[in-house]
Structure formats: C-alpha cells, structure tokens
Structure 1
Amino acid sequence: MKLRTIESKDNCAVKTLIQTSLESFGLDIPGTAYFDPQLADLTSYYAAESAAYWVVEEDGNILACGGYGPFKGDGNICELQKLYVAEQAQGKGLSKLLMDQILLAAKDHYQHIYLETTSKLEVANILYQKYQFHKLDQPLPGSEHAMDVWYLRDL
C-alpha cells in the first residue's frame, strides 16, 4: 500500500469511494460531502498551500482518502475533510495512516483542527476520540454541514 498526495487521475475514484461510503450509511443527503461542489475535482480544491489531500493506493486501486482544508472564519483552524476507507480495506489501519499524515501536515499551518461527523459513524467517532479530539456541544460558527457530532483538537 502506498500513501501519496492526490493526483488528477484519482478524482473519479475518490468521488466514487466517498459517495459509496456515504450511501452505505444512508448519508447520501444534502448537507453531507456527498453533494459538495468540489467533489468532482478534489485535486484542484486541495492544491492551495493551506490544504492537502492524500490517497492510499494498492495495485492501482484507491482504498482510502482524507485531508484537511481551511475552516471558514478562523485562520487558526483547519477542518479534517473527507476521510473515508473502502469497505474491503477497513480494519487494516488505513484511517490511522491517514490521520497521522493529516495531523502532522496540518500543524505546520494551523493551531487547531475541527471536524464534523454523525453519530451513525460509530467507528469514526472512536477513532477521533483515540486521537484526542474533544467533542463540542455545537458546531463552530460558519459550519455548513448537516452533522450531529463536532470535534476540535489542538495541533
């Protein structure tokens, strides 16, 4: 398995991975990443210096993806974005691999990392708590997603 920065050739496979993952939890609804306008061209979206996105590839197949980008309204906070692992690759440590990379890279640009998720994603919530994300009572101002769980972590 190889962890690398997203390339334009990955855009379609990453979009499919994200949307398939969301569909499996009934989260193919407005207010989720399923309908994010940048989903068709994540390479361009994450090309900014204040953002980054990685994929985990094996034998030409994208097995996992994730990254971070700026959070609206506060230049000290970034947002953990679009961290997904294909069903057939779950349980192999790919979330940890991506999370370690994201946190390491984000601390060069930001002081805090924020994320929004849903209580339906039990395994994801366990991961965030293991990484010492602190659960918030409400989303940060400027949030645009329809999630019901919010976390913040110092970098």
Structure 2
Amino acid sequence: MKQYYQDFIIRNWEERDDRTQAAEVIHSVLSEYGLGWEPSGADRDVLQIEEYYLATGGEFWVIEHQNKIVGTGAYYPIERGEKAVEIRKMYLLPNVRGLGLGKYLLQELETAIASRGYEQIWIETASVLKEAVKLYENNGYIPTTGVETQRCDRIYVKHLLPRI
C-alpha cells in the first residue's frame, strides 16, 4: 500500500528502518501531552509490529515526509464486538498537524478496514489528546464504555455498514 496526500507518502511499515522512527514519533507525541511511553505495556505493539499487526491480519502504516516518518496509523482485529478491529497508534508530529492529514488518514484506515469485511471500529484515547477526540467525534465515532488501556480514559465505536 502506498498513497499520497499533498507531499506526504502513506505506506506500509517496513522492517528496515521504520521500527525506531515510528517508535520515536509515538514516544514524542505522548511526551508532548504528558503521557508515558510504555514499551512493556500499551506500546509493546510498536516494538513488535510483525506479531501484533502483520501476523493477525492488521496493518501498520507510516506517514513519510521528506524521507522522515512524521506519523503513524494502524489497526488490528479484536475480540470485542462483531467483526471488529481497533485503530491504534494514530499519531502525527506537531509540525504536520492542521493540514487535514489526520482526517485523511482516518478515512483511509476506515476504507481499508471496510474492504476487509470488518463491521466495527473501536478506538481508545485520552481526553488530553483533544485534537484526536474532536477528530473521532466529528467522524461518526460514538462514546461507549469499557476502556482497557490504563492511560486512556475514552473509548469510541463506529459501526460500518455490512457489505452486500
């Protein structure tokens, strides 16, 4: 998968150099908002992308700008709900926010998820990530209950129309 948005490249994660750069983006954004990096907990999946995403039927994408990773977005199947996935690790560095990239990334993730026959998308986030909360709420995600990640205090679900 390789797509373009303005002068950004959105592509599949590759083992060669992406693991460290993707982890640095996520760590940086978490720190910016006063949230902890948890390499042995909530962020273990970023260090083990093959196991958590690729081996389970999920996808992990990176956003590249001028040969540097500036964002991430991913999903994998989950047991919660019916034919469900969880969108995870959707982070953008501050210098690339406000360009519509987050909304575009969310829509592309949703399109990929729907094309694989999934019917529900779950997202956990933290209230302090105000831009993310606004993005999800403005794009049809409904607040619900059952947060499973310690640093998150909000959970959303979106129901996709079954394919006919």
Preserved contact between residue 116 and residue 139 of structure 1 (Cα < 8 Å): no
Q: Distance in 2 between matches of 1:104 and 1:71?
A: 18
Q: How many correspondences in the alignment?
A: 151
Any residues of structure 2 matched to 1:14-25 within 5 Å, and which? 14-25=22-33
Pick which of 126-135 and 46-55 moved more: 46-55
Higher relative contact order (CA 8 A, sep 6+): 1
* 1:148 paired to 2:153: yes
Which residue matches 1:91? Answer: 98
Which residue matches 1:109? Answer: 117
Unpaired runs of 5+ in structure 2? 1-7
Which residue matches 1:79? Answer: 86
Question: How far did residue 145 of structure 1 move?
Answer: 3.9
TM-score (norm 1): 0.86
1:132 is aligned with what amino acid? G
1:50 is aligned with what amino acid? G
Any residues of structure 2 matched to 1:2-151 within 5 Å, and which? 2-8=9-15, 9-28=17-36, 35-48=42-55, 50-74=57-81, 76-107=83-114, 108-136=116-144, 138-139=145-146, 143-151=148-156
Percentage of matched positions with identical amino acids: 26
Q: Distance in 1 between matches of 2:65 and 2:40?
A: 24
Unpaired runs of 5+ in structure 1? none
Question: How far did residue 74 of structure 1 move?
Answer: 4.6
Q: Distance in 2 between matches of 1:61 and 1:87?
A: 14
Question: How far did residue 38 of structure 1 move?
Answer: 2.4
TM-score (norm 2): 0.82
